Structure 1
């Protein structure tokens, strides 16, 4: 006889249990735990998150076996969600999907072309037939790529005339970094144009070390590149955004920013640098990262359900 399935909303006090569940999934899917408690807390404390309506925990026999969360800050008709479940707990996984889909339709409110998206490892703990059986289809693949750092990483030589500055000064510099990210990512699949304040909440930017965010400038073009990194992950330093303006692409700006990040994080004692990349990115980002020694750590698929 199966253990009784119970479902309730998540609360801030559940953060450690949720983190443990996510790390158990990590261990199965990628071979090691890589979820930090700070990431979970950032989700649970997001100012726009109504945990009572938009989050779910599933328990079997008192054990947390699945977790889901839904949000709709990506524009009209677009709903996103987290969904994690331990293998062998299909009923719990399906029940949380049902609840997410109901909430997603409430969020969408009949908007034309409305959709729900979630990302799952290409070798997921969720039974492979569940999502296709509910009408989901894969629309994109992303790779998490990593590179080992040498403590003696040499500082890179910048392209002629290029200068680099950190964004740890006044708020105007942070707003400039935001504007550059919006400009350079505008045509990327899934990008959401967010004003500055909602963007800060989305990236958990209020606690970000802004000395690890850099803007690249060329004399004839002005600010042409931006790289936002973060050093708050246990497993590795992380490049959240690396963007180069169209007018400056092909001039070595992206490669220089990447190598600068390698050197900066090696100097901070980090042994690994990581980032995520859309494998179909039309700017050639995947080739850039491969050319600089980054290799696939794991891959995830974006699944979409038309609402």
Structure 2
């Protein structure tokens, strides 16, 4: 069956129900601790550098933008243990590009039984059905994305066989802070002043960061609600984050939004401050503001007693960011691949997933 057939989602749901010994229902909030443990088991097995925490899942659940009752399914075995999650997270807040996050997981000891294949097919069918049912004339293309470690061959092969092409690679980088003295004065950039995070500049910062990232792959401007969730998340650290202000105008011309992904620390064996977004205004690039923001971030991480500084970078970033990070001592620690299925608005829908391979998949 073609996954964009009007009846495909129902058929894919029936296929999940037909898997022997499993029952499926939408995620309940009470399920989240067990689901977090399932993700942790999968992420350890797959050496995934991007780990879900219970707090991440709770924030997703509690967001007014989320519809876990529609976009998720939890599969349990006959003993009641969680075996798999189907997660086709539809971003209903943004219409410029309609995004769907494909976040399914199958417990390692249950792989090779066709569960992963059934999960992915339902996720794709659900995302396609959501878009078809709610699309309006001025909406942008539909983009369904699956992120996986580069070495996770089973899920990457499954994604490829279902029409999700390799679109991008991202590197995770880290550097130790042993050489950083938190008592030294911060870096100096002529005409620019580095200051701490200022929540009173919220609307300005929101506009600035979105504008600075518009030339980056995959970016879409965030709604006010999405921005508030971003800087209000459990991982955001205002006291580690840094702004760069133009001394003449007082305007924000750079920012480092820094986070603590504490769920990673025990697995990687060290604590780390993470620069989640580094932005510099196009008008001020080439003045080493990015280097200064990272150096000040490192100083703040060291002052907090952390072992390392980390960040992620698009391998195809045309700005030379990777060279900048390497010059500052960052080194690659892991790589993630993005598989993507895109439906341009000018192109009639065609199936991403004829059953081209009868093997059970993941």
Asked whether the two chains share a fold, i.e. TM above 0.5, the reply is yes
Choose from 225, 232, 238 the match for 1:205: 232
In the TM superposition, what is the alpha-carbon distance from 1:164 to its structure 2 partner?
Answer: 1.4
The change in CA–CA distance for 1:22 and 1:242 in structure 2 (over 3 A counts) is same
Deviations 1:70-91 (A, max 9, x none): 1224434432231222334242
- 2:71 paired with 1:71: no
Q: Is the contact made by 1:79 and 1:108 (CA closer than 8 Å) also made in structure 2?
A: no
RMSD: 2.5
> Which structure has the bigger radius of gyration?
2
How many aligned positions are there?
303
1:232 and 1:49 mapped to 2: Cα distance? 22
Secondary structure, counterpart of 2:104 in structure 1: strand
- Is residue 93 of structure 1 aligned with residue 107 of structure 2? no
**1:65, CA displacement in angstroms?**
2.7
| TM-score where L is the length of structure 2 | 0.76
Instruction: Mark the CA change 1:193 to 1:233 in structure 2 (over 3 Å): closer, same or farther.
Output: same
1:124 lines up with 2:152 in the alignment: yes
Deviations, residues 111-162 of structure 1 (Å, cap 9, x unaligned): 7743311211112274443111111101111112112222635444211232
For 2:77 and 2:339, how far apart are their aligned partners in 1?
26
CA-to-aligned-CA distance 1:154-207 (integer Å, 9 cap, x gap): 44421123211223453xx12222122111101111111113223223x26265
Residues 240-279 of structure 1: matches in 2 within 5 Å? Answer: 240-279=276-315
Deviation at 1:31, TM superposition (A): 7.6
- Whether the aligned pair in 2 keeps the contact of 1:58 and 1:66 (CA below 8 Å) is yes
Contact 1:152 1:266 in 2 (8 A): yes
Give me the TM-score of the superposition, normalised by structure 1.
0.88
1:81 aligns with 2:102: yes
- The answer to which structure has the higher strand fraction is 1
**In the alignment, which residue of structure 1 is the partner of 2:194?**
164
Structure 1 segments of 4+ aligned residues over 6 angstroms from their partners: none
> Is 1:302 paired with 2:330?
no
Asked whether the equivalents of residues 94 and 223 of structure 2 are also in contact (C-alpha less than 8 Å), the reply is: no
How far apart are the structure 2 equivalents of 1:254 and 1:33?
A: 24
Unaligned runs of 5+ in 2: 1-18, 266-271, 344-362
Q: SS of 1:276's equivalent?
A: strand
For residues 56 and 302 of structure 1, the distance between their equivalents in structure 2, rounded to whole angstroms, comes to 23
Which residue of the partner structure matches residue 280 of structure 1? 316
Matched, 1:227 2:245: no
| 8 A Cα contact 1:29 1:125, kept in partner | no
